[in-house]
Structure 1
Amino acid sequence: MDRREVAAVLAYIGRLDPRTIRTETSEARDQIAQWHELLADVPLATEHGWDARAAIRAHILDSPYPILPVDVARKWRSHRRDRLGRHTDPTPATDPDNVSAWRAELASRRHAVAIGTAAPSTHQQITSGRVQPDLETRLRAIGSCIPPAVRTELAPYRPARAAREAAIAQGHPDYLSVRCSWCQAQAGELCRSRRVGPDGGARGNAPRATPHPSRIDLATTKAQQPAMAA
């Protein structure tokens, strides 16, 4: 605020709380100087949610004590922290190889949000990029975000998943869609090898590349039930 804005604020406060009015010229001048010293970097109002008069009115309604310039400054700092806390730094339009320009754009945008001339961007960066126009068409064509060639190359490193996908492709039911009654693996989880020790307790808990036969039978029976009912 400049001195004129500070004087207008003090006049507004005087109408709401006559205790703050200074009748002497020297006292009024000192009061304006004191308020200006603390509110020089506080805007009178911004386009995005801040109005010093609203903060002053709220203080007068909530507190029995006369308002001080530091009360307004603290409310502005809290408002600014809240805005910056909700800002998620969308990806700058500058070339990322130009580090100085990239940082300058980020800093200028944060400064605009802090002083209230720009609204905070509450969207995460992952949603701020441009979507390729042919992305949905390509996904519908290949049926998955993993291309078939890449899936084939990954098969040796994911034998259980590869066996499951091959079985489904051949028309077999998804064996992992049901719970295994032998190893107690939940639906969607791989079966576990369970070996019985001499004391009768279970030994071993390694994942199996293939499901247990009882799980296969259960999944097959469940898949056949709709056909039998029809």
Structure 2
Amino acid sequence: MDRREIAAALAYIGRLDSRTPLADPDEVRDRVAQWQELLSDVPLVVGQDWDVRGVIREHVLASPYPILPVDIARAWHAFSRERLRRHTDPTPAADPDDPAAWRAELLARRRAVATGQAAPSSHRQLTGGGPHPDVAARLAAIGSYIPPDVRAELAPYRPARAAREAAVSAGRADALSVRCEWCHAAEGELCRSRRVGLDGHARGNAPRVTPHPSRVDLAARMTASRTTEAA
């Protein structure tokens, strides 16, 4: 704020708070000079987000003490930190091979955001409008987010997933879509090798690539039942 804006802020404080009367002209000049020295980097108004008069009014209503320059400075710094917290640095237009220009553009952008001269640039957010048209077109062309050749290369590293996809492609029931009654594997989880010891307790808990036959039969029955109901 410049001297004129500081004088306006002090006059506003005098109207709201009778504890800070200033009648002597010399005292008024000294007070304006003091506040201008301390608040020279604090703007009076920044768009609709920042207004020193709002800070003064809130302080008078909430605090039993007269407002000081530090109260306004703290509010401004909190405002700047909040704007920077919501800001994500966009890629600078400067040449990446010129570190000085790259850094200067980043700092200038952050300074503009912190002082209210530019709006924060936030992360792009997911929306509920479905995939981008380009993604939808590619998905319609290949039938999956993973191309067939990539899926084939990944098959040796995820045999259970590959077996599940092969069963669905062949028109068979997805065994992992139901709970296994033998090993109690939850829906979507692999079956576990469960051996019973001489004491009657289960032994072993290693995951199985292939589901238990009883689970396959149960999935087939459930699929047949749903097909019948749909018909």
1:198 lines up with 2:211 in the alignment: no
Q: Which runs of 4+ in 1 moved over 6 A?
A: none
CA deviations on 1:2-40 (whole Å, 9 max, x unpaired) are 111111111111121233231112211111122112211
Separation in structure 1 between the aligned mates of residue 171 and residue 107 of structure 2, nearest angstrom: 57
Q: 1:121 matched to which residue of 2?
A: 121
User: Secondary structure at the residue paired with 2:50?
Assistant: coil
How far has the Cα of 1:200 moved from its partner? Answer: 2.1
Identity %: 66
Q: 2:169 matched to which residue of 1?
A: 169
Conserved 8 A contact 1:89-1:125: no
CA deviations on 1:28-72 (whole Å, 9 max, x unpaired) are 111112211221111111125011111111111122221111111
How far has the Cα of 1:227 moved from its partner? Answer: 3.2
| Normalised TM-score (structure 1) | 0.89
Higher relative contact order (CA 8 A, sep 6+): 1
User: Secondary structure at the residue paired with 1:163?
Assistant: helix
Stretches of structure 1 that go unaligned for 5 or more consecutive residues are none
Q: Count matched residues.
A: 227
Distance 1:176 1:102, change over 3 A: farther
Q: 1:181 matched to which residue of 2?
A: 181
Q: 2:152 matched to which residue of 1?
A: 152
Distance 1:155 1:96, change over 3 A: farther
Separation in structure 1 between the aligned mates of residue 100 and residue 176 of structure 2, nearest angstrom: 52
Over the aligned positions, Cα root-mean-square deviation in angstroms equals 2.2
| Normalised TM-score (structure 2) | 0.89
How far has the Cα of 1:198 moved from its partner? Answer: 2.8
Amino acid at match of 1:169: S
Separation in structure 2 between the aligned mates of residue 90 and residue 143 of structure 1, nearest angstrom: 34
Q: 2:135 matched to which residue of 1?
A: 135
Amino acid at match of 1:45: V
1:216 lines up with 2:216 in the alignment: yes
Distance 1:109 1:25, change over 3 A: same
Stretches of structure 2 that go unaligned for 5 or more consecutive residues are none
User: Secondary structure at the residue paired with 2:179?
Assistant: coil
Distance 1:159 1:120, change over 3 A: same
CA deviations on 1:68-116 (whole Å, 9 max, x unpaired) are 1111111111111111122233444455555444433332221111001
1:52 lines up with 2:52 in the alignment: yes
